Amino acid sequence: MLARARQVLEIEAQAVRNIPLNEGLVTAVNLILQCRGKVVTSGMGKAGIIAQKIASTMSSTGTPAVFLHPGEAQHGDLGMLGKDDVLIVLTNSGRTREIVELVHLAERMLGYRLPIIAITSHPDSELKQQVDVLLYMGQFEEACPLHMAPTTSTTVMLALGDVLSVLVMEAKGFTKDDFAKRHHGGYLGQQTRKEHEQK
């Protein structure tokens, strides 16, 4: 069992190491930096959980962000989108129906297409022609023994989300004082308050 555990970790670690970074990442960071509204993340199922985490990390590090459930978007939550927002969609297949429809619905509601960043492992999917930046996750196998349950794919999505968040916060010059203003609870809040008081 421990040998299998190590194998699972190695499969996922190797996939993260092999993420093919290119200038598209720089373009994505610049789109977020230029955003005058908020960043809206979206994904279905397990990808949606990762999208929620990305929005949370960005919000806590100086970039207002919210999660939009692509299913609920079709029942009124689409109104969450504003004309100055940037949309980040996560879909391993690049063909997730709710995500493809979300992109179309957003454009129809606003009358134009928002800047859109897609994170997917299928760069030639339908989304390719509908987004501004496609961040390719690379080729990998799911750690799941059936090669079906999102395991490696969500780990790679999470890593790319962290990359975007870190690069954006560094470009903004986000400081510990800025962090302290957003974190009042828990251990992190206690530590940041102590550091602030010692200054």
User: 177 pLDDT band (50/70/90 cuts)?
Assistant: confident
Is residue 161's pLDDT more than 80? yes
Q: How far is CA 160 from CA 33, 66, 121, 136, 148, in A?
A: 16, 17, 12, 10, 21
Q: What is the mean pLDDT of the chain?
A: 94
pTM given for the model: 0.93
pLDDT at residue 193 in the model:
65
pLDDT band at residue 199 using 50, 70 and 90 as cut-offs: low
- Judge whether residue 120 has pLDDT over 80: yes
114: pLDDT strictly greater than 90: yes
Q: What is the DSSP string of 138-150?
A: -----SSTTS-SS
What pLDDT is attached to residue 113? 92
The band of 126, judged by pLDDT with boundaries at 50, 70 and 90, is confident
pLDDT above 90: percentage of residues in the chain:
85
Q: What is the pLDDT of residues 1-46, one digit of tens each?
A: 999 999 999 999 999 999 999 999 999 999 999 999 999 999 999 9
**pLDDT higher than threshold 70 for residue 132:** yes
Write the pLDDT tens digit of every residue in 69-92. Answer: 999 999 999 999 999 999 999 999
On whether the CB atoms of residues 98 and 115 are closer than 8 A, the answer is no
Residue 20 to residues 8, 12, 193: CA-CA distances in angstroms?
21, 15, 39
Q: Which H or E element spans position 70?
A: helix 70-73
Domains present along the chain, CATH in parentheses: 2-141+149-198 (3.40.50.10490)
pLDDT > 90? residue 192:
no
